Homo-oligomer: A and B are copies of this chain.
Amino acid sequence: MRVIFNEEMQAVADDLDRMAKDVRTAINAAGTALLDLDVEAAQSVIDGDTEIDDLESSILDQCVRLLAKQSPVATDLRVVVSTMRLASTFERMGDLARHIAEAARRTYPQSALTDDAQDLFRSMQEFLTMTADRMVSMLADRDTTTAEQVIADDDRLDALHHQTFDLVLSDDWKGTRRELINVVLIGRFMERLGDHAVSAARRVVYIVSGFDPSKAPARDEGTDID
């Protein structure tokens, strides 16, 4: 049984790694779509989201089958349960990347954002690119140090997100209402991507250590509406 469990679990782990990589690709292409006005990148994110959704379904099915056939306990059980939750988190991250890509496609060949928002969103995107890299490697290597960095650094994204509100509420803001909506919603999508990365990082810590850091203070504490 143990050998079969390990083999089957490895297949699921491979799918989960692939899902994390797909999400990273989506996050990066959404940023390219948004900031470099690349409509093909936007389309690739939108089209690619189906594969991410299918991977989630497949991973959940495999996990339920593993639970039924192998009745894992202790660490094995923790891995299976965490894998299901990670798959759902990644699925949601794919949706959020798609929303950003859709916003970029909608305004193409114009930018969805005002000129004075570009630098701020580029900083948020750089943060997310780094986070997506960390997410892939923490998962592949079961690396809690990297996971802890993802958790600790999220405040930086929250601070950038807060600046999106400062920007549109400032006296210097000259954007249209539509641009204001884009800044607010795309900013929110990016901040949520960060929150989900934190949630994924907590799952990795839980898999490795058995300690669930989600029982530490929760994310998404504030909406930063203003």
Which residues of A come within 8 Å of B, CB atoms? Answer: 53, 57, 64, 67-68, 71, 73-74, 77-78, 81, 84-85, 88, 95, 99, 102-103, 106, 165, 168-169, 173, 177-178, 180-182, 184-185, 188-189, 212, 214-215, 218, 220, 222-223, 225-226
B226 touches A178 (CB 8 A): yes
Q: How many copies does the complex hold?
A: 2
Q: What's the nearest-Cβ distance from chain B to residue A23, in Å?
A: 16
- Bound-state CA distance A181–B77 (Å) is 44
Smallest CB separation, A13 vs chain B (Å): 19
Residues of B within 8 A of A106 (CB): 225-226
Whole-angstrom CA separation of A71 from B71 in the bound complex: 5
Could you say which residues of chain B place their CB within 8 Å of the CB of A73?
68
> With A64-B77, A67-B67 in contact, is A225–B182 under 8 Å at CB?
yes
Q: Smallest CB–CB gap between A86 and chain B, Å?
A: 12
Q: Are A173 and B177 in contact (CB under 8 A)?
A: yes
By a CB distance below 8 angstroms, the chain B residues around A67 are 67, 77, 81
Please give, as numbers and ranges, the residues of chain B lying within 8 Å of A222 by CB-CB distance: 102
- Give me 12 A-to-B residue pairs in the complex whose CB atoms sit less than 8 angstroms apart, sorted by A's number: A53-B218, A57-B215, A67-B67, A68-B74, A85-B88, A102-B222, A102-B223, A173-B177, A177-B180, A181-B184, A182-B225, A185-B225
